[in-house]
Chains A and B, each alone.
Chain A
């Protein structure tokens, strides 16, 4: 396990590279889903407001 984490001496480069990539992947997933939720909420609000018009 320790050898695996050490990555042959390259640990200081390999693990940050994987960490940055994982962060970008996760951020994309979270951000896209949040955008959709916000757009759906905004659309519902518009529908409700329009429905409330006399």
Chain B
């Protein structure tokens, strides 16, 4: 083997070695690397007990309730396979929407409700002007009878519903002048 061929083999070997080591390390630490758990994992009892963790999924449409006279809100997080009821006292982020993605940080109460102390909005990767979103919603609303909701994936982002989210953009409360 020429010296150069040997050096090339060495570089490739280093690369392969690091990749394998990285893959092994990441899979071994899977539980600690998990940024959020989905409702199916909660239902299967795979979430940390007695500790804070993050719950991620979609906000079930029509599930948002505000307790009268208090800042508490209740909604349901779903991955279209299982649901978890959530209770949160505080200001919801601007992009929080029913039918859109959410990541909540908190604890699971004994009665099965997830008590969140932080709620983040998770938006999808689609960008379009409001009129395109409206016409998409209209079109999917018409064919909603035939459409079946997307099944929950075992890993990865919460599944996106086939229709565009419900409402159009509202200006943020933070930093707005007038």
Contacts and interface: CB of A to CB of B under 8 A. Distances in A.
Chain A directly contacts chain B within the complex, with at least one CB pair under 8 Å:
yes
* Main DSSP-derived SS at the A contact region: helix
Nearest to B94: A9
Contacts, number: 16
A6 B177 CA distance: 8
B175 A13 contact: yes
Interface of A: 6, 8-13
Q: Is the interface of B mostly helix, strand, loop or mixed?
A: loop
A15 to B, nearest CB: 11
Contacts of B174: 12
* 5 residue pairs, one from A and one from B, having the closest CB atoms: A9-B171, A12-B175, A9-B176, A9-B172, A8-B171
Given A6-B177, A10-B171, A10-B172, 9 more contacts: A8-B169, A8-B171, A9-B171, A9-B176, A10-B175, A11-B175, A11-B177, A12-B174, A13-B175
B94 to A, nearest CB: 9
Contacts of B177: 6, 9, 11
Interface residues of B, number: 7
A9 B176 CA distance: 5
A10 to B, nearest CB: 6
Interface string B23-44: 0000000000000000000000
Contacts of B172: 9-10
A12 B177 CA distance: 10
Contacts of A9: 171-172, 175-177
A4 B171 CA distance: 14
Interface in B152-178: 169, 171-172, 174-177
